[in-house]
Structure 1
Amino acid sequence: MEYPFIDVLIIGAGPIGLACGLEAKKAGYSYLIVEKGCLVNSLYKYPLNMTFFSTADRLEIGGIPFASIQAKPNRPEALEYYRRVTDSQGLNINLFEEVTALEEAAGIYQIQTSKNTYQAKHVIIAIGFYDVPNLLNIPGEYLSKVRHYYFDPHFYYKQKIIVIGANNSAADVALETYRKGAEVTMIIREAELGRIKYWTKPDLENRIQEGSVKAYFQSHLLAVRENEVDVQTPDGQITIPNDYVLAMTGYQPQFHLLEKFGITLSPDLKRHPQYHPETMETNRKNVFLAGVICGGMDTHIWFIENSREHAVKIIQHIQKQTPTV
């Protein structure tokens, strides 16, 4: 049976996957971007009122200007920008189509998805890490009141909220829910707040100092029950009445998918995938990595701003190996 043949198949329609599509199109290759969710699926899952740390120009792809009315663009502006890029450039993209298998024979890859089968000479894996939350591994974690994703603060009006974490996401959740009428308690493993946007950190520090937001430092959650939680603090174990637990503990790449695709991962806890930093080619010939997936568990290394260049590196390498006519 003959399957559609593509020069470059790109897995993931986040900003870096789109950037790879732009570069492939510019170079004259046939290409297809396949995405298991919606366009820029990870950004779509971001909190409703999220503001990026970066300026708009740092989020641009393909040299296409990102106009923002604010110094720091927000989630709706980013979604609008990436939709506009996709439409204006006529990117070849299939949404809500999940890649399930990647097999190679005679230098050609056969890619099985939930909807079709394709053949491609080159494959770019540009998936993010927002689908697999870092779990707490404590009793009660699977109760519906425990959530690893946060969207809108209104839902938590007049609720007793536990926020776990010390970085940007936890800070935003704590401040937004507090200002929408929640009773907020933060549980922080470290002795102080972590990496937080410079305009947010003083605000949170002041709320903690005045007691509007309660914070337990050098503490961790022990167990969750329907109406309360147990917390280990430096002064001993305490029980806190509680309605919802928002675990802003971060996320990790889909390592099972990389392993399924035959990508070698480092044996340590960092689980760094193997790739050449100049070409982004993995241990599998003509299979490349792009974007945040390259960092393994070091999810703070690669962002849109500094991984846009991966798209250029990959396509330039492909051009050296397989020039277009």
Structure 2
Amino acid sequence: MVIIVGAGPIGLATGIALKQRNVPFKIIERGCLVNSIYNYPKDMTFFSTSDRLEIGGIPFISHGHKPTRREAMEYYRRAAESYELPVHLYEEVQNINGKDGNYTVVTDKDEYAASKIVVSTGFYDIAREMDVPGEELPKVNHYYDEAHAYAWQDLLIVGAGNSAVDAALETYRTGANVTMAIRGDGIKETVKYWVKPDIENRIKKNEIKAYFNTEVVEFREKEVVLDTPEGEKIIPNDFVLALTGYKPNFKLMRKFGIELSDDEKMMPIYDSETLETKRDGMYVAGVVCGGMDTSSLFIENTRVHARHIADDIQQKLA
């Protein structure tokens, strides 16, 4: 029995690959199916085309050139149903004891014996906090859902990546008074090519106020303090979207016995061909493999992990 921790696209793809090789497995997920995608903004459109998000040989047909969040959730749900994947939802893995060939997976609901483990927990569940005074205020949010709640409000958006830019444009067009605080000297080059000119034009026309080379000093109840190249600025503020990125659950990986690199990337150490970590019989799959370098790995370039892992497990269990 193989236990896959995480029911995101790559966890599902790994399950499909194991099923195609007649290797028994279970997938355990602490939230809903493809939980990270579920928590994306409601109107989000993927950067990738639908064919690059496909798993298990199941065609992904979207209405537009780029699929939406809703279409992706439906697609992965259909993929899991088509392969009749044994997925346990809303069950949290708390610890993994034992050794290769004789693991015990402890969850908040049960215990499972496993010969191999695949950890595919992604990185979207934990926000990169800013460690700024006032960050704990209810008005500060590290996740963006939809624009309506910010209509006619003074909104500060921290960040200059895709999430921050999408939120800035959507809330601006819903009537928010949008200000952006950006650490660098411009919008990130990785922002979607069809969106980048839009945000830059809004900033150029001062429809969205942007402070570049700027740090947040403090969040207050009705204002925000910024450290800008022109000196300290205090601006009126009702809400903050601190869209500064996300990170894997390093605490959980260490608890599982996965060794991490000692540099700032904190990448799990694994065999590049098999994805097996230094804890024998335990593999990593998907974007979690990138550690803090969360912009280097995506669904489309980690789908191959499923095949590599399944091939290695099949060979070792034969």
**TM-score, with length taken from structure 1:** 0.96
Q: Report % sequence identity.
A: 52
Deviations 1:106-150 (A, max 9, x none): 731000001110000010000011111011111100000000000
Equivalent-residue separation in structure 1 for 2:265 and 2:196 (angstroms): 28
Q: Does 1:119 align with 2:113?
A: yes
Change (3 A) 1:319 1:166: same
Q: Secondary structure at the match of 2:115?
A: strand
Report what 2:267 is aligned to: 272
Report what 2:208 is aligned to: 213
- Structure 1: 5+ residue stretches without partners: 1-6
Q: Does 1:188 align with 2:185?
A: no
Deviations 1:32-74 (A, max 9, x none): 0000000000000000110000000000011110010100001
Selected match of 2:227 from 212, 226, 232: 232
Q: Does 1:31 align with 2:9?
A: no
Q: Does 1:176 align with 2:170?
A: yes
Change (3 A) 1:105 1:58: closer
Equivalent positions of 1:35-184 (< 5 A) are: 35-105=29-99, 107-184=101-178
Report what 1:247 is aligned to: 242
Q: Secondary structure at the match of 1:112?
A: strand
Q: Secondary structure at the match of 1:47?
A: coil
Equivalent-residue separation in structure 2 for 1:219 and 1:65 (angstroms): 45
Equivalent-residue separation in structure 1 for 2:229 and 2:59 (angstroms): 50
- Structure 2: 5+ residue stretches without partners: none
Please report how far the alpha carbon of residue 300 of structure 1 lies from its aligned counterpart in structure 2 after TM superposition.
Answer: 1.1
Amino acid of the structure 2 residue aligned with 1:62: G
Selected match of 2:288 from 275, 282, 293: 293
**TM-score, with length taken from structure 2:** 0.99
Q: Secondary structure at the match of 1:249?
A: coil
Amino acid of the structure 2 residue aligned with 1:33: I
Q: Secondary structure at the match of 2:303?
A: helix
The count of aligned residue pairs is: 317
Report what 1:307 is aligned to: 302
Equivalent-residue separation in structure 1 for 2:308 and 2:114 (angstroms): 19
Deviations 1:194-253 (A, max 9, x none): 021001000001100111100000001100111000000001001000000100100000
Deviations 1:261-292 (A, max 9, x none): 11111111111111001000000111000000
